[in-house]
Structure 1
Amino acid sequence: MPEGHTIHRLAAHHDAVLGGSQVVASSPQGRFVAGAARLSGATLVATEAYGKHLLHDYRGGSGGGILRVHLGLYGMFADGPGAPPEPVGQIRLRLVGAGTGPDDGPHAEPGRQHWVDLRGPAACELLTVAEADALRGRLGADPLRTDADPAAAGERVRRSAKPLGALLLDQSIVAGVGLVYTTEVLFRAGIAPTLPGRKLTADQWLRIWADLVALMRLGVDRGRIDTVRDVHLPEAMGRAPRVDRHGGEVYVYRRAGQPCLLCGTAVAAGTLAARNLYWCPTCQPG
């Protein structure tokens, strides 16, 4: 499932290629016909990422509304310049417009027609302003948002007896953080994922939060999750680069049984809150 950095990248890119323009919307697979009809002719006035939720704010047209997309495990976007290709497969939503904003992506050309296709999302729906506000109210602090409240999130974490790994994955506490960032930030902090939240010190929480902010901003910039410090990169250690469909260099995520890059201990794996988890028994003592 994409983590928060991916959703923030999508929000910025969609603003660049569709923002400020009237869109033509359709649902080739037929599962979002009514919603697409409301969006067609409306203008995309803003895009927003909050945790793992992508929001498009449309005004005018046949009603507009706030489009909420949650990609889930299988959802994905595809896009390109010019006229859209013939629909192939299960396209839930197709948007065609001509954005006016700057973009550092490969299709940057303000004012040129652009198409965006959405396939297989866990959620694709239109919300009212009140419903969008309620959604934001249910979500925790997003490390990539300027309005995040790390103190409130820290208070909830440090009041709980639940394992820290489960608390970081709780989107009502910290929004946008998934399994990769959770396992990696706890390794970098030297804290076991099974540590009860109430045993975490205030200083430890502040260090974890600052590291999340830095790592996720790097993820937005690079388009992948990299968590390894320079001294532990392949070229610095003389080791082979990581080969994994998720990309990026990491310390423990999906490295069960392999030697820890710091101490050489075999990376451990287990489950927590029905999710796979990875940690170093030596660097992260329980």
Structure 2
Amino acid sequence: MPEGHSVHRIARQFQRNFVGSRVAVSSPQGRFAEGAARLDGRVITAAHAVGKQMFLEFDDGLWLRIHLGLYGAWEFAGDILMGLPEASVLDSDGENSLRSIGAPRRARLRMSEEEKVTDAPVVFPAPPVGQVRVRLLSDTVVADLRGPTACEVLDPQQVETVMLRLGPDPELDGSEAARDRFTSVVRRKPTPIGRLLMDQSVVSGIGNVYRAEMLFRARLNPHTPGKALGLSTVHALWADWAYLLHIGIETGQMMTRDNLTGPELARAMKNRVDRHWVYKREGLPCRVCGTHIVLEEMAARKLYWCPRCQS
């Protein structure tokens, strides 16, 4: 599932390429035809990311809410302006580029590899390919959305209701008040910290990768109740999430190992297997103590952790 850093990067793409533009909105797939008709011909006035959700504001008070879920992704084409940080690094899994942000699209990548080079002129916009739920088209850029969990038109009051249900996002609000809101919720809950970090009403943007990596970095047992954690421990978790989220936004990669330099850093940026401490390393020796990494299920998602370092 695309995590918080990806959604912030998508919002930046829209801020740079669509905000201020009047757009044609359609639903080639047909499943969003009614919503597309309400937005068609309007001007996009703002783009916001909160955790794993993105909100596009249109004139006349209408909003488009998108939650990518497990399979959602945006694909951009046309005269794309650089809206992402210069530090961005493309990885070998094709999950980070100017043209596609979200869940990997291996079928599309294979299709692109098999396309034959011709002298035919490039047509803009190209016809939609696959199950495109929403197409947003300006004079110069097109954005196609595939596979979202949620895609709906909201009014301002409905947007406020949704946002109030979301936990704090340190990229939007790094204040002590936001930190304390996160801390107070965690420390009064008997729920295991491994579940709390995935609860978007507790904190926004953390998914399966960041959950596992943050807990290892903190040397925390995932089953520890939130209310058993000390104040400084929860503050440190918040600070680490802010730190890792910012790295993810700037580079496009969920880099969770520190102090890598030179070829080792370059290799980690390009290959996921070298980027993490425990994620997807079940059965392999811990990079710190050598104990085999454990895989179990928590909150209906796979959890990776070291039973020695996180005892």
TM-score by length of 1: 0.87
Paired AA for residue 276 in structure 2: V
| Deviation digits for residues 77-129 of structure 1 (CA, Å, limit 9, x no counterpart) | 1011152211221111101115xxxxxxxxxxxxxx10000011111100010
Gaps in structure 1 of 5+ consecutive residues: 99-112
In the alignment, does 2:179 pair up with 1:153? Answer: no
Q: Which residue of 1 aligns with 2:2?
A: 2
Given that 2:212 and 2:303 are in contact with CA atoms closer than 8 Å, whether structure 1 keeps it comes out as yes
Q: 1:190 to 1:147 in 2, by over 3 A?
A: closer
Pick one of 287, 290, 297 that aligns with 1:261: 287
Q: Which residue of 2 aligns with 1:106?
A: none
In the alignment, does 2:68 pair up with 1:76? Answer: no
Correspondence 1:1-286 to 2 at 5 A? 1-60=1-60, 65-81=62-78, 83-98=124-139, 113-146=140-173, 149-231=178-260, 235=264, 249-285=275-311
Paired AA for residue 144 in structure 2: D
Bigger mean CA offset, 32-41 vs 154-163: 32-41
| Deviation digits for residues 9-35 of structure 1 (CA, Å, limit 9, x no counterpart) | 000111111110100111111111121
Paired AA for residue 223 in structure 2: T
Using the aligned pairs only, state the percent identity: 42
Q: 1:228 to 1:37 in 2, by over 3 A?
A: same
Q: Which residue of 2 aligns with 1:101?
A: none
- Shift, 1:244, TM fit: 9.6
| Deviation digits for residues 131-155 of structure 1 (CA, Å, limit 9, x no counterpart) | 0000010011112212661211111
Given that 2:286 and 2:293 are in contact with CA atoms closer than 8 Å, whether structure 1 keeps it comes out as yes
Given that 2:191 and 2:225 are in contact with CA atoms closer than 8 Å, whether structure 1 keeps it comes out as yes
Partner Cα separation in structure 2 for residue 130 and residue 68 of structure 1: 13
Bigger mean CA offset, 45-54 vs 222-231: 222-231
Paired AA for residue 156 in structure 2: V
Given that 2:253 and 2:269 are in contact with CA atoms closer than 8 Å, whether structure 1 keeps it comes out as no
Paired AA for residue 307 in structure 2: P
Partner Cα separation in structure 1 for residue 299 and residue 26 of structure 2: 38
- Shift, 1:265, TM fit: 1.2
Q: Which residue of 2 aligns with 1:103?
A: none
Partner Cα separation in structure 2 for residue 219 and residue 42 of structure 1: 32
* Aligned residue-pair number: 265
Partner Cα separation in structure 1 for residue 233 and residue 216 of structure 2: 13
| Deviation digits for residues 230-254 of structure 1 (CA, Å, limit 9, x no counterpart) | 2599738xxx956998576000011
Given that 2:296 and 2:304 are in contact with CA atoms closer than 8 Å, whether structure 1 keeps it comes out as yes
Partner Cα separation in structure 1 for residue 217 and residue 174 of structure 2: 25
| Deviation digits for residues 163-222 of structure 1 (CA, Å, limit 9, x no counterpart) | 100001001101111111111111111111111111100000111110110001000011
Partner Cα separation in structure 1 for residue 18 and residue 273 of structure 2: 28
Partner Cα separation in structure 2 for residue 267 and residue 232 of structure 1: 25
The runs of 4+ residues in structure 1 deviating greater than 2 Å are: 231-236, 240-248
